[in-house]
Amino acid sequence: MPLRRIPHLRQPRCAECTPRQNLLLFVGGPHKCIGGTPFPNEGHLSVRLGYMADKHPTARPANPRFSSGPCAKIPHFTVDMLSDAALGRSHRARIGKEKLAAAIEGTREILGIPADYRIGIVPASDTGAVEMAMWSLLGERKATMVAWESFGAGWVTDVVKQLKIDAEVMTADYGEIVDLATVDFDTDVVFTWNGTTSGVRVPDGDAIPADRAGLTICDATSAAFAQDLPWGKLDVTTFSWQKVMGGEAAHGMLILSPRAVERLENYTPAWPLPKIFRLTKGGKLIDGIFRGETINTPSMLAVEDYLVALDWARKIGGLPKLMARADANARVLWDFCDRHDWIANLANDPATRSNTSVCLKFTDDRIKDGASFAKAVARKLEDYNVALDVGAYRDAPAGLRIWCGATIESSDVEALTLWLKWAFETVLEEQTATA
């Protein structure tokens, strides 16, 4: 019996392989050389399985990139857009400084950051920005570490086990959020605004008092440019270019309020600081960092890419339009979950559902091994090149994580939902057949 390759798979599979590999083939009838554990129907592949595999949706996302970082580039991106990059030039030359300063001021313009806040480009992406803030600012008073997902838990580890300062740790399970109304903001509070690995976000800044004595250090990497951040409630805010703006990795943004600058100039940590963490010299803020005179050498190609993304954001209508695009994308998935009883948002409270890193869980009682099932669905979507990198984060509950930031098109999310339903049904049938 000749074997026919399913469209869009990377390569044909051998009929002498495992049952799972055989299921990836469309076989019109019995095949004598099926290896592995026999199926309940004596090794004959289910006609229904072949039919389902061959009858996948016809519409597909124009862009299958739904990774939560690095995220999809801006719509209609081409490398020709980077032709003005200052390649082969020093970042300390005038052209380099001008482009770095433009990146800083463009960030201020689009995000509506107050004029008296400092904005710096720092090494090591969002992680570098958060670490720089914690190592430079914490220790002056007690800290409160707030975490409800993997990256927030990482900041807890650094403060408790590395800096070893007096800190209260407040955590919540995946899908939940710590009640910020119970947090003592007279301590220094470190938290993540939008949990990239849990899909749970802070709904607003109402619980943060304006007259707090401590500093708020906020990792906003998957919130910036998609959610309305209350700058008056945030003393340190960090993000990276690779998230909502679809930029490139390795560069972080560090935003400091006047209160944070005052702490930097009046407090010296008890521990040594490496060069890439130093924000002051002689008890004064190093102003150059916040004018584009970066601590170490940035990629001018990545800088140009960020400038192009900022220009795109400006042309489509700025922050309100960016937030609206993310909201519309996420709404497609939220509505999809509402229409089906086998899938749900990982965030339990609708008010805390992320509009960027939308995390989903499978809830069908027929699923016996949730982790393997979710991985199989993600693999199926990738095999057909309709959704890349949508598996849940390695430390998160089994499920899917689908990026819905502003660079994603709603039409692509709509098309993806058709494939998501097909993949769920197909994998469920496959697992039933091999049970």
pLDDT, tens digit, 9 for 90 and up, residues 299-343: 999 999 999 999 999 999 999 999 999 999 999 999 999 999 999
Grade residue 38 by pLDDT with cuts at 50, 70 and 90. Answer: very low
User: Distance between CA atoms of 297 and 251, rounded to whole angstroms?
Assistant: 10
User: Distance between CA atoms of 75 and 407, rounded to whole angstroms?
Assistant: 6
pLDDT at 10 over 90: no
What pLDDT shows up at residue 433?
87
pLDDT tens track for 54-73: 689 999 999 999 999 999 99
Q: Answer with the residue of higher pLDDT: 233 or 52.
A: 233
pLDDT tens track for 351-372: 999 999 999 999 999 999 999 9
What pLDDT shows up at residue 83?
98
Grade residue 14 by pLDDT with cuts at 50, 70 and 90. Answer: very low
What pLDDT shows up at residue 111?
99
Least confident segment among 51-55, 106-110, 231-235, 348-352 = 51-55
- Give the residue from 246, 249, 209, 250 showing the smallest Cα distance to 224: 246
pLDDT at 45 over 60: no
What pLDDT shows up at residue 49?
56
Share of the chain above pLDDT 70, in %: 88
DSSP 291-324: GT--SS---HHHHHHHHHHHHHHHHHTHHHHHHH
Domains of the chain listed by start with CATH number: 1-55 (no CATH), 62-71+317-434 (3.90.1150.10), 79-315 (3.40.640.10)
pLDDT at 6 over 60: no
What pLDDT shows up at residue 18?
47
Contact 114, 258 (CB under 8 A): no
pLDDT tens track for 156-170: 999 999 999 999 999
- Tokens coding 229: 């951040």
User: Distance between CA atoms of 219 and 393, rounded to whole angstroms?
Assistant: 18
Question: How far, CA to CA in Å, does 311 sit from each of 77, 83, 110, 254, 299?
Answer: 12, 15, 10, 20, 19
User: Distance between CA atoms of 254 and 133, rounded to whole angstroms?
Assistant: 8
pLDDT at 13 over 60: no
Q: Answer with the residue of higher pLDDT: 164 or 41.
A: 164
User: Distance between CA atoms of 82 and 75, rounded to whole angstroms?
Assistant: 14
Parallel/antiparallel/unpaired status of strands 143-147 and 167-171:
parallel
Mean pLDDT of 238-262: 98
What pLDDT shows up at residue 50?
59
